[in-house]
Structure 1
Amino acid sequence: MLRLIENAKRFATKCAIVDQSDSYSFRDLLDRSEVIALHLLQGKEDLGQMRIAFMIAPGFDYVAVQWGIWRAGGIAVPLCVTYPLPSLQYVVEDTVAEMIICGPEYEDILSPFSMMPNIRFTRMSGLSKNESGNLPEIENQRGAMILYTSGTTSLPKGVLTTHANIEAQVSTLVDAWQWSSSDYTLSILPLHHVHGIINVNSCALWSGATVQFLPNFDAKKVFEIFMEGKVNVFMAVPTIYFKLIAYYENLSQTEQMKVTEKLKKFRLMVSGSAALPVSVMEKWHGISGHYLLERYGMTEIGMAISNPYEGTRRAGYIGMPLKGVEVRLCDEADRVIPSDQPGEIQVRGGNVFKEYWGKPEATAKAFTSDGWFKTGDIAVVEDGYFKILGRDSVDIIKSGGYKISALEIEEVLRKYPGVKDCGVIGIPDEEWGELVAAALVTEKNIDLSVLNAWIRERMPAYKTPRKYLLVKDLPRNAMGKVTKNELKKLF
């Protein structure tokens, strides 16, 4: 049987989930997910890896539906609650989903699917009826979930993970970050993404910890929850830490001291899904007393590299390979290179996904002949710690024969007075191949010639931007990551 479910039985009476409506024990979660599983089966012995899309608000019902799909033998396809209809339709059609489960908040946007004869449209309210029957035994190698990549270079691809993949991803993090049943975490990340589903919810529930849901990010509400003193593990993306810092800086000195006192009692704070600016890490350390644990992962592999739970967390570095995960750096011909030279991160292990759903050519292209997954991210190793230089397609700028890290330039630009945030890209140029260009979000008007002179004192001339653009905000995806291809269009 699924280990996540088996573990839950050991913590039956303990609080598993707190959401806006109530608090629920692990027994409540087991009972509700069983009712849902039996309803989905409707007398069948096994759903046989049927794809079931679901759009449920973050909270108890979301987890119960996800577990119910797994326990009935289906493949869970969580839909992003902020997507427009065409994007939802793409996911439903691409997975050939035979069923959609819909929460009351999303009935309007999903209503077109209720008219389709080949899709069983089920409202959350219809999943309460007790059905009789037995649940199937689920083998670990079966498909469990399809999550979609952000699609920065082409249409999003469905990443199929098995139950064995999920168990490897979760158990590795539980061990590395020392999760226990005494932990209490806040779930605020989108639940169509590996960060929220695996790192937060699944790790906590696997360990018998409590998950409190906050469906929509609100800095004031986050600090109110922190002040209650229950949360001791917190995971977020750099954008969220940036917003929390901005809110904190507007509090009175007395309120700031109270917040800092609470935050210092946390056990663990993690940042991921996008590069963490060193400036944000340093500011948060001043506020909370914690150096954020930065780690590295993606939809296809869960987490692969992490700064240590105990030991030095190096700002600007993603850390060392997690136990049980093999990592190497390779050149463009997939040859292993010395780790102190820039190379592509390649990963192998039980955490690595099975395939891109319905895309055998893309799957084959993503792996080397000897089974290593090619991440497309370029890194070097310094003193044993991996440092991301960027993503080959968007963060590595090839200009005048040099390979330049956009992330390195961004880090320097953020230190300039008045620059709140920035995004650096390469734009096509006949002479240079690509020109370094920077979009800046500023607090006030700044003199770009003064900025340019300033940055040239801190970086070699070939790395400094040739073009600047002042923008109100940077285009981002649902996880807060800057979408560089959208940024390029602004130039």
Structure 2
Amino acid sequence: MNLSTPCIFERAETFGARTAISTSQGDYTYADLLDASGRIASGLLQGRADLDQERVCFLAARGFSWTALQWGIWRAGGIAVPLSELHPQQEMEYVVRDSQAAHLVTHTDFHDRMQSLAGATQLSLSTKDQLLESEKGVLPMVDLARRAMILYTSGTTGKPKGVVSTHANLEAQINALVEAWGWSKDDRILHVLPLHHVHGIVNALSCALYAGACCEFLPRFDAEEVWRKFVESPLTIFMAVPTIYVKLIGAWQAAPPERQGDMSQACRKMRLMVSGSAALPVSVWEKWRDISGQALLERYGMTEIGMALSNPLVGERRAGFVGTPLPGVQVYLVDESNAQVPEGQPGEILVKGPAVFNEYWQRPEETEKSFRDGWFITGDMAVVERGSWRILGRKSTDIIKTGGYKVSALEIEDVLLEHPAIAECAVVGVDDLEWGERVAAALVLVPQGTVTLEELRDWGKKRLAPYKLPSVMLPVQELPRNAMGKVTKPAVRKLFET
């Protein structure tokens, strides 16, 4: 066999005939996944010995195709850069150019979109089917220290930054969660999460495959279909963002009483349900517990660090808290003078450990600013109460968490200012039970300028992902500013409270 250092491939060899991926098109074994990814790797190499960390941007249908492409890129020695079908071409083109990609790969379902992208970036495009026609050849040894993946995450500088993780970083993230959450080959997870975020890629998919478990995919989230799977499929694990749990609660409440009983019983048979990527309101945690009998396991993490804190698999899970540090992760809180704060006092979260990312792609100054004496500065505030951590929110007011996505207010503002009717704007997150935060835009219009929320969203669809579009809009005569002329975001947020 072709040996690679990352353990996930070596472990897959031992799982062989076990089902790795289940989709509406059929079931695929670990042997199928190794065969397909091996052919894809050979197709990417085209006779070369090693991609030598070239970036490969790929867009594929959720499930077996996506996984085989990711593994194929890794096994060829490349860096996987997943694209999102939710993003308009402008955003995908930014990722391709910023990552300095050498290759574009796509599933046939997205061929037309990717062909347009290939034309704009002057890169060649391969389809998964074309790569699968390759004969398997000798694949390179892939050292754990190599860069493995770049995920783009919004930051306070506006444009998304490429977060680079090595194979060692990813293995550390996976190992911590497999140990903490008791993953085994007998698990079966229902996967409804996006595959351009660490939540969907590492927590749900990679942990399952590392353990020899089965990952069952839905093509997209649909509350009724998720409930049907809960009832009919032998699931043991489910992971989602708070917005999804709100929608599942709504679907349960709308069901007839006899159906509600079946739905609730289906939840009780599972061993673990997890919520993350955004703060889970205590009221939602309590409603879900009443409906399902499940105390949702909340955890805390981010693209740069994987998961850092988690409630226990066995033991008390407190609503509104994210537990304690995961195995191999060091976490502590500091005040504004960088002094460690005692329990009960709020501070900023600093994280250290092998799971912490390698760098921001091609941004050495930002990478350096993000660390202090080897500790990653998260920008998140928290407090420890009775031994358990509670997240207080972002230190920066320019990051909005909506529906499990982290988006930059500055990036949205840059785009909105391109609209001919908008002279000035300020974007903030406003609290919302379903979405965590909604994207809200305060707008100063040009003289005689007019725009409705519907018109603004329709205009923005070609420029921003759907979850970045404002869902609340407020025309104002002027934006609140401080003595230095800087827009004060807390004052902007208050405008939406009246």
Structures share fold, TM-score greater than 0.5: yes
> Does the 8 A contact of 1:273 with 1:479 survive in 2?
no
Q: CA deviation at 1:482?
A: 11
Against the structure 1 CA distance between its residues 479 and 137, is the aligned structure 2 distance closer, same or farther, given a 3 Å change threshold? Answer: farther
Which residue pairs with 2:380 in the alignment? 377
Question: Which residue of the partner structure matches residue 274 of structure 2?
Answer: 270
Q: What is the alpha-carbon distance in structure 1 between the residues aligned to residue 383 and residue 6 of structure 2?
A: 38
Match of 1:99 in 2: 103
**1:388-467 superposed matches below 5 A:** 388-394=391-397
Distance in 1 of aligned mates of 2:429 and 2:213: 45
Give the distance between the partners of 2:429 and 2:50, measured in 1 at CA: 54
The answer to whether the 8 A contact 2:156-2:398 is kept is no
Structure 1: distance between partners of 2:63 and 2:180: 26
Q: How does 1:143-162 map to 2 (within 5 A)?
A: 143-151=147-155, 153-162=157-166
CA contact (8 A) 2:114 2:125 kept: no
Stretch deviating more after TM superposition (333-342 or 35-44):
333-342
Match of residue 185 from structure 2 = 181
Whether the 8 Å CA contact 1:113–1:121 is kept in 2: the answer is no
One-letter code of the match for 1:109? R
Q: Distance in 1 between matches of 2:11 and 2:105?
A: 26
> Cα distance 1:112–1:478, how it changes in 2: closer, same or farther (>3 A)?
closer
* Cα deviation, residue 438, structure 1: 5.7
Stretches of structure 2 that go unaligned for 5 or more consecutive residues are: 402-408, 410-427, 435-452, 475-491
Give the secondary structure class of the aligned counterpart of 1:377: strand
Quick one: which amino acid aligns to residue 332 of structure 2? Answer: R
Aligned match of 1:259: 263
In structure 2, the residue matched to 1:191 is 195
In the alignment, the residues of structure 1 paired with residue 46 and residue 432 of structure 2 have an alpha-carbon distance, to the nearest angstrom, of 56
CA distance in 2, matches of 1:170, 1:117: 34
Count of aligned residue pairs for this structure pair: 427
- Whole-angstrom distance in 2 between the partners of 1:34 and 1:128: 9
Greater relative contact order structure (CA < 8 Å, 6+ sep): 2
Counterpart in 1 of 2:292? Answer: 288
In structure 1, the partner of 2:345 is 341
Cα-to-partner distance string for 1:229-254 (whole Å, 9 max, x where unaligned): 41110000000000000000000110
Q: Report the CA distance shift for 1:115/1:279 in structure 2 as closer, same or farther (over 3 A).
A: same
SS at match of 1:83: coil
**CA–CA distance in structure 1, aligned partners of residues 179 and 273 of structure 2:** 16
Matched, 1:220 2:224: yes
SS at match of 1:285: helix
Change (3 A) 1:69 1:486: farther
Confirm whether residue 300 of structure 1 aligns to residue 304 of structure 2. Answer: yes
Q: Secondary structure at the match of 1:122?
A: strand
Structure 2 residue aligned with 1:35, among 12, 35, 39?
Answer: 39
Distance 1:178 1:143 in 2: 28
2:81 partner SS:
strand
Give the CA deviation at 1:440: 6.3
Percent identity of equivalent pairs: 50
Taking the aligned partners of 2:338 and 2:266, their CA distance within structure 1 comes to: 48
Q: For the structure 1 residues 395 and 483, does the alpha-carbon distance in structure 2 shift closer, same or farther, using more than 3 Å as the test?
A: farther
What root-mean-square deviation, in Å, do the aligned CA atoms of Structure 1 and Structure 2 show?
A: 3.0
Q: CA deviation at 1:197?
A: 0.1
Structure 1 residues without counterparts, runs of 5 or longer:
397-405, 408-424, 426-435, 443-470
For the Cα contact (< 8 Å) 2:281–2:433, is it kept in 1? no
Quote the offset at 1:7 in angstroms: 0.9
Question: Given residue 350 of structure 2, which amino acid in structure 1 is its aligned partner?
Answer: Q
